[in-house]
Structure 1
């Protein structure tokens, strides 16, 4: 049966990729990147489902502080007309039920044909075969999900507004440094009971070895720009480094995208087991950058359950 162009146009308009956003800025960027890459592949729109933030007292939507095209479309950010507004809640409950069924030795629930829940931490090859009308739920922490749009993402993930006074001053210091290296020391919620047992906490041995390997690679001493949500802890962890070589970046906690952009302006990077500094290093466009990353991305017991090999882009060095 032949279809009129008008009918075909209306049918194509129904196709849309929806991605549920949760977590902090780094997580939101991974989720957006995967959804956007899939939408670009099919030539359809991307819709951002923000319903996961409704009851989250710690996290909020932050992509609107970047040049993300869809971030200004807040009127449609809770799902397309063809998706129920509780898409996030349905996906979350489906994930929880799957865990219970797994413990009971029973098969997982069959997901709707147009819904995709990330099945594991490493890259899922089935992602490439998803259709043009799919709802995504997961973390998607691998460059393999979005390598096809890397250059565009670096543009979209730049700050929408000029730096504030503090960040602008720090940028001047970074640009004036002969060898600026970003060092991320993550604490914050990582030290909370339960969270620490999941993520793990990087201590002095990791940073000592990472910095030693970095400086042997670049064959010179570096000026270290320290990014941390706990400057006191960072000072203790990096006590083996002369203070004259440390610059503490005292950013605005309400403007985390600025710290990430400052990380990206450094020459090389020592990152934490954090999606935040992952992106700070990834956004650095230099092909000669050296990135040191922790091999133990999770605490030992959790690391045994996950394949993290797809987490690290080619060329990053594991410590």
Structure 2
């Protein structure tokens, strides 16, 4: 078959990894026809967000993609070793697969050029709060700090993330950033700002962003992308805040991304600092 189907899932951070892998496949198979499936798994977050926030050309979803993909999944149940499907989340296992789970958590599928994907954000249409945040970011030696708690503390994620990206990690990163850049201005993002204020030594010069919620939350990623430095959480959201937009001078990441027998995903740039 001269076609490939990509099943998109997850939130915006995951969708960016999926789009990067789609571009990788297109380069490898210039004569193939590509189709996308944008189904129920996207609805667990805010649906397909990628084309709302970025200038992208996504594969189309004709009516037959869903039933055909369903047949391939059924075939996989009967023949688990089938190479027609590639559902691995870390690497590209089956070169000739037809159905792909395109969330490949690996930096080697991300284009090397800085401008491989472009934001669609119109800064002139931003709220007064976001315009003020951009002024704070661009007029200072800005380092964003992202703390993700919320769903990571739930029963579903506790086993995977407990003991990772600790307050000690943040304290070490903050201390090193202050030592390297005494004039640093911390731009703070979190689903638990009170926890940040109570537990982290951010100083009197910190600026807190707490108004972009729900479907507007990608604006936090946009603001992150405009900063000069980054202290990221173990989250694809702040990972892309560090990768996109202005090229970062200094990025800190947690050495323990999750509790996995396979260790950390291979997503970090060589000049990033793991703590």
The within-5 A match list for 1:297-308 is 297-298=257-258, 302-303=259-260, 305-308=261-264
1:65 aligns with 2:52: yes
| Greater share of residues in helix | 1
Query: Which secondary structure state, in structure 2, belongs to the residue aligned with residue 226 of structure 1?
Result: strand
Q: Are the aligned partners of 2:193 and 2:208 in contact in 1 as well (CA < 8 Å)?
A: yes
1:99-155 deviation line (CA, Å, top 9, x unaligned):
xxxxxxxxx812243x2121x63x45x46xx24x7321152122101235x445332
Deviation at 1:167, TM superposition (A): 2.0
Match of 1:204 among 145, 151, 167: 167
Match of 1:145 among 94, 99, 109: 109
1:189 aligns with 2:151: yes
Moved over 3 A (4+): 14-17, 56-59, 83-86, 88-94, 160-163
Query: Could you say which residue in structure 2 is the equivalent of 1:235?
Result: 197
Give the Cα separation in 1 of the matches to 2:168 and 2:262: 23
The number of equivalent residue pairs is 270
Deviation at 1:290, TM superposition (A): 0.7
Residues 139 and 167 of structure 1: CA distance in aligned 2, closer, same or farther (over 3 Å) = same
Match of 1:292 among 238, 252, 255: 252
Residues 49 and 285 of structure 1: CA distance in aligned 2, closer, same or farther (over 3 Å) = same
Query: Could you say which residue in structure 2 is the equivalent of 1:51?
Result: 39
Query: Could you say which residue in structure 2 is the equivalent of 1:246?
Result: 206
Give the TM-score normalised by the residue count of structure 1. 0.74
Deviation at 1:61, TM superposition (A): 1.2
Give the Cα separation in 2 of the matches to 1:93 and 1:236: 52
Give the Cα separation in 1 of the matches to 2:131 and 2:71: 40
Match of 2:21 among 34, 39, 50: 34
Query: Could you say which residue in structure 1 is the equivalent of 2:177?
Result: 214
Structure 2: runs of 5+ lacking an equivalent: none
Give the Cα separation in 2 of the matches to 1:250 and 1:31: 28
Structure 1: runs of 5+ lacking an equivalent: 1-13, 99-107
Larger radius of gyration: 1
Give the TM-score normalised by the residue count of structure 2. 0.85
